[in-house]
Amino acid sequence: MGTKVILSFDVEHDCPPFAETRRGMEWGLPKVMSLLERKGIRGTFLFTGRMAEEFPELAERAAKRHELGCHGLEHERFDRLNTEETRRRLMEAMRILSDFGKVVSFRAPNFQFPDEYYPILREVGFLVDSTKAKHKGWKKGVTKIGEILEIPATTTSIVTRLPWVIQERFHKKFESPIVYIFHPWEFVRMPKHLRPDCWFGTGDGAFKKLEALIDYHLKGGAEFITLRDMVGDPNV
Ligand SMILES: [Zn+2]
C-alpha cells in the first residue's frame, strides 16, 4: 500500500485571534487552490462559516473541485462553550456551508474540542473529525470516537515552513495517512508584530515549500486523498 497524503487547510481569517485581516483569503487561498488543481490533486478545505459567507466563490470552488469541510462558525474555542452554544454554532456553520455542497468533515479551532461533545458533531451531520493531533500528544492512529471517524493531524504547520532539507527528514518518518495542516495566511507575508508562529516562514517561501512537498510525495508514488475519502463510502 502506498502512502496516503491529506493536505488539509484550516480556512480562517489571518492568524486568529491575533489579526483581523483577510489577506490569506484574498491572495493566499486562490493561489493554493490553483496549485493543487495544476498538480491534479485535491485538498480538504475546512472553512469557518464566516469565511464561506465572505468568500462564497472560494467555498464553492472547494466544494466542486476539492473537499469543503468545517472549521467552526467564527473560529471559536469550543472548550470554552457549553453544549447548547456548541450545538447552535455548529448548526449555523453547517447551514452556511451546506449551501455549497455536502459537508462531512470537521476540525475544531486551536485543536480544542471536548470528547463529550463528539455526539453533537454526529447530530449536526459530521462523519469525520481531524481535531486530535499527533503533535499535541495524540497516540492512536485513525480510530472511532463514538460514531465519528477520527483522522488525527500529523504535524503542525510550523514544520512545513522549515527549510526543505530539514523538513524532508520528517516527511520520510510520518506514518500514513499523513495529515498536513496549512492556513491561507501562511502563503502571504505576515507582519512581524504578531506572534512568531503567525509570521515565521510565511509568504512566497511557504508557497514554494508546499509545491516541493507535493512534488516529493508525487515522486514517491503517494496517493493524495481528502478526509472524506477516508470514510470509504462512495455515497458520502
Ligand atoms: Zn484555525
Q: What is the DSSP letter of 96?
A: H
Q: What pLDDT, in 10s, does the model give residues 147-198?
A: 999 999 999 888 999 999 999 999 999 999 999 999 999 999 998 988 888 9
Give the mean pLDDT of 16-29.
95
Which phi-psi region, left, alpha or beta, contains residue 205 (left: φ > 0; alpha: ψ -120 to 50)? Answer: alpha
**Distance from the alpha carbon of residue 47 to the mean position of ligand 1, in angstroms:** 9
**Distance from the alpha carbon of residue 212 to the mean position of ligand 1, in angstroms:** 24
The length of the chain is 236
**Distance from the alpha carbon of residue 48 to the mean position of ligand 1, in angstroms:** 8
Residue 91 CB contacts under 8 Å (≥ 6 apart), including other chains? 124
Residue 1 has pLDDT above 70, yes or no: no
Reduced to 3 states, what is the DSSP secondary structure of residue 11?
Answer: strand
Q: What pLDDT, in 10s, does the model give residues 109-130?
A: 999 999 999 999 999 999 999 9
Reduced to 3 states, what is the DSSP secondary structure of residue 171?
Answer: helix
Kindly list the structural domains of the chain, giving each domain's residue range(s) and its CATH number in brackets, ordered by start.
4-231 (3.20.20.370)
Residue 110 CB contacts under 8 Å (≥ 6 apart), including other chains? 77
Strand (E) or helix (H) holding 149: strand 148-150
Within 13 A of 127's CA, how many CA atoms are on the CB side? Answer: 12
Residue 235 has pLDDT above 80, yes or no: no
Percent of the chain with pLDDT over 90: 91
**Distance from the alpha carbon of residue 1 to the mean position of ligand 1, in angstroms:** 32
Selection from 138, 184, 208, 102 nearest residue 130 by Cα: 138
Cell (9 digits) for 96: 452556511
pLDDT at 163: 93
